[in-house]
Structure 1
């Protein structure tokens, strides 16, 4: 049988192949290079000017290209990225055969979380310029990414008290052993154990004091801002909750935020940022039942944005579910409720306060009717001796409006999961990015997550635009990024040193602006 034979490793070449010739015209590293070169890194917050003296620094563009390429190819570790600089021909072409050490690489990610988020915003702007973002329907959700902190090193008040009780018991036992010790060896062993457990007790008391001072419900030793959260069912992990808003047209994330809280109080801020990013309120926001909170619904509706939030199953408050409060009809004009039997419930107008937690309070009114006592179906409606009492709080109108939105368009909400789970599924299942790589707080975690979303958006844009042929996409990238930075001449010189390129400015119909048309003679 014949086989394909490789080249002799010792064979010398008369005309060595350059790096430029080794990288195909359709290789994605060319798009990365073009994208980063088009950004104004100084305005984005990267440090560009360094003092003279000492070893010269690497330009932030070099390290940004390095990270984007790494995350696109599922390489996040600074040490692995350092290796790729010396053995990966695509990486050599991209950063011009530079090889920063792993500390320099890691510090770049650690020191630039805000600037990295602005780079993500640039990918969103790129998608908008290619008309890949519809801006009519968005879906929001959160996903848990494991932190670099074990459950063992996560503490709450009950867990610390349990440890302290155990240590006190052991100290009492070792103190008795010391008192009854006959030999020097036994005495030294008891003293050693007492010293060890006393040191551990001091550590737990410091954690206890820290919890009291901060008012936080829990604390993590390795990654202080990570929190133990429910992943699903009864399964918990010490993690961060990454909130993301995704546009429905092509499932492109337009926003992300790293938090250590659950979803309950996140929707208002997410929708407010989406309004700023999209520049309009003419869109519909879809969220699951974890976001079903009156105050957050109030924020969204106050912005004039339509929201469809899944309504959680509510526990039955009546012996027969047909007589639950949601089956009572509210008359806004008369401020009364009508029960399923036709009786009218009225209020005395007095506002009552209900406390949920130390700082959360809600005002509500009570509605009742005297007819309840003689009602023939009272035993189906309530077990209360004095009859049914209906409460209406300040957020009830928001809940009612949301219910109306869901009932008007039940099919629309069903799209939520397909929209927002697309990026999460790709990132966690396909790419394996199910954990935060960095430690020491939300800022550093945000930098890691930022690069994940940058890589996702660039990959998504290239995949979508690639249907028209990469060469066409490349030309469109040039046009778009020239407009963004307005430094087209320098980039043309870099990327097309020999090809004929014509730039034509022409009026855009119906606008005072001018359009930039790039005419490129592809070989």
Structure 2
């Protein structure tokens, strides 16, 4: 016979078990072993085998289903349900359990807080396995679309007008109810209006909640479907999105901390993310690195004050802008006299302070010195002579710029892209994450935690192999079976 052909009618003397269908080195066994070492009590999920009443699905099995599903880009509860019937690795992982999509969705919705902690526990496993050293940390962010349409994003005036219209509709419905009050209570018209009234009152409460979102921060617009998301620009255009931040360790490129925020840019995120990462590590890192998007001197100064070397280029350094011969850096500042000296030795004394920005302004003592200088017209063309602005945190800015230029810092910065952008590429392409499924910051944060955990597990399987990884996990056994 020229070909090997299968026979669906072939019978076996002894029916095979599910175990026989999954190889010993199949990755699904690594995911199974990982969930078994998690402390469900710390996650906030109670496992009680003596619980009375109708039996629930084992939370460990449900968490395995979510993590393994997300690891292969299967996130929808309906698709996960289908996999439990048709995919042999899912069947093995679940031990033949087949929860329906409503059960899966309810478990995910009910355990958002627990899912947010999964990444933290995963990072602790990595630390115990000596895969995360915590010496050098990289921070970066990416935009991932929210489960909300852009057209549902409006300003405060729109919602206030909508609230007035709903109040008028509710008032009209109440008047109509009074007019038919003498009719039979079960009449179709009365029942229909009762439903319409409840619908409008529910909508009114939702709009009030949306309006409350304007109070928390300086937001100009809020999305009605998901008030926590924001319109953000990216290379793919402008969409309702979340800004996903991650902190990656330099040793093996594993994620230490990840979080979805509503801020449209990365400014003021550096200190927040590093603080959360060092809290998990239990020690401050030696150096923290990020791109120029995080270049906010005040924010970076918070980390520098903790003795951590900050490696973040300023916008000027990132753009490789060449400084002219009469740029501010060529003017010498005398701290004792609180004045500047220009390259020609002329003095610029303190003039005034901008009350809004805190900038201190320095001017040439005698404008005639500028007018008679051979560099007048190149250094400045101002009639009053040269002016210098000094930032309130000028010394910190100069320190951070000099720190970035160091040879050791450049060696670390070169590794930044390879380390911190790799997880985002894996999550977006391999895990097929072009948008979140859940809505609200809690739900999106839970999904972010799952996605980051999936990346870490995939990396650990690559580093150790399935067999060795299982052995190392079994040696940890952090968790008792019953919490």
TM-score bracket, shorter-length normalisation: 0.7 to 0.9
The separation in 2 between residues aligned to 1:453 and 1:111, in whole angstroms, is 20
| Cα shift readout 1:118-151 (whole Å, capped 9, x = no counterpart) | 2211221222222222322211111000011122
| Structure-2 change in CA distance of 1:49 and 1:373 (3 Å) | farther
The yes-or-no answer on 1:444 pairing with 2:447 is: no
Deviation, 1:157, is 5.8
Work out the CA distance in 2 between the residues paired with 1:449 and 1:14: 47
Matching of residue 216 in structure 1 with residue 215 in structure 2: no
Over residues 464-497 of structure 1, what are the superposed CA-to-partner deviations in whole Å (9 max), with x where a residue is unaligned?
112xxx4333222211x22x33x5xx79xxxxxx
- Equivalent position to 2:253, from 251, 256, 265: 251
Residue 415 (structure 2) aligns with? 415
Per the alignment, do residues 372 and 3 of structure 1 end up closer, same or farther by CA in structure 2, a change over 3 Å counting?
farther
TM-score, normalising length: structure 2: 0.81
Partner of 1:35: 34
Distance apart, 1:50 and its partner CA: 9.7
Q: SS of the counterpart of 2:131?
A: coil
Q: Aligned equivalents of 2:295 and 2:251: distance in 1?
A: 25
Partner of 2:189: none
Deviates more, 1:470-479 or 1:218-227: 470-479
Match status 1:15 vs 2:14:
yes
> Residues 211 and 217 of structure 1 are in contact (CA less than 8 Å); yes or no, is this contact kept in structure 2?
no
Matched, 1:279 2:279: no
Q: Give the structure 1 partner of residue 238 of structure 2.
A: 236
Kindly indicate whether residue 382 of structure 2 is the aligned counterpart of residue 399 of structure 1: no
Cα pair 1:300 1:307 within 8 Å, conserved: yes
| Aligned 1:341-490 pairs, distance under 5 A | 341-347=344-350, 351-354=353-356, 362-375=357-370, 376=373, 377-409=375-407, 410-439=410-439, 441-466=440-465, 470-479=466-475, 481-482=476-477, 484-485=478-479, 487=480
Contact map agreement 2:287 2:311 (CA 8 A) in 1? yes
Helix, strand or coil: the match of 1:273?
helix
After superposition, the Cα gap between the structure-2 partners of 1:408 and 1:258, relative to the gap in structure 1 and judged at 3 Å, is: same
Q: Is the 8 A contact 1:343 1:371 kept in 2?
A: no
C-alpha distance after superposition, 1:375-422 (max 9, x if no partner): 222322233322222222322222111101111133432222221101
3-state SS in 2 of match to 1:236? strand
Separation of aligned partners in 2, 1:463 and 1:217: 45
8 Å contact kept, 1:229–1:237:
yes
Tell me: CA distance 1:300–1:478, structure 2 relative to 1, closer, same or farther (3 Å): same
Q: What are the within-5 Å matches in structure 2 for residues 104-123 of structure 1?
A: 104-123=103-122
Residues 322 and 206 (structure 1), Cα distance of their counterparts in 2 relative to 1, 3 Å cut: farther
Distance change (3 Å), C-alpha of 1:51 and 1:366: farther
Is the Cα–Cα contact under 8 Å of residues 143 and 243 in structure 1 kept in the other structure? Answer: yes
CA contact (8 A) 1:368 1:390 kept: yes
CA distance in 2 between counterparts of 1:337 and 1:315 reads 27
Paired residues of 2:72 and 2:430 also in contact (CA < 8 A): no
CA RMSD of aligned residues (A): 3.1
Partners of 2:397 and 2:24 lie apart in 1 by 55
Conserved in 1, the CA contact under 8 Å of 2:140 and 2:245? yes
- Structure 1 residue 263, shift from structure 2 partner: 0.7
- Residue 8 of structure 2 aligns to a residue whose secondary structure is coil
- Counterparts in 2 of 1:209 and 1:432: CA distance versus 1, 3 Å: closer
Runs of at least 5 residues in structure 2 that lack an aligned partner in the other structure = 166-199
Q: Which whole-Å CA distance do the structure 1 matches of 2:423 and 2:380 have between them?
A: 47
TM-score in terms of structure 1 length: 0.75
Check conservation: 1:110, 1:447, Cα contact below 8 A.
Answer: no
Q: Secondary structure at the match of 2:23?
A: coil
**How far is the alpha carbon of 1:63 from its aligned partner?**
0.8
- Name the SS of the counterpart of 1:264 in structure 2: coil
1:47, distance to aligned residue in structure 2 (A):
3.7
Q: Which runs of 5+ in 1 are unaligned?
A: 168-198, 355-361, 492-523
Cα distance change, pair 397–25 in 1 and its aligned pair in 2 (3 A): same
CA deviations 1:276-297 (Å, max 9, x no partner) are: 2233324211111111112201
In structure 2, do the counterparts of structure 1 residues 292 and 99 end up closer, same or farther at CA, with 3 Å as the change threshold?
Answer: same
Q: Relative to 1, partners in 2 of residues 1:424 and 1:213: Cα closer, same or farther, differing over 3 Å?
A: closer
Instruction: Identify which of 288, 292, 317 aligns with 2:291.
Output: 288
Secondary structure of the 2:106 match is helix
Match of 2:316 among 313, 317, 339: 313
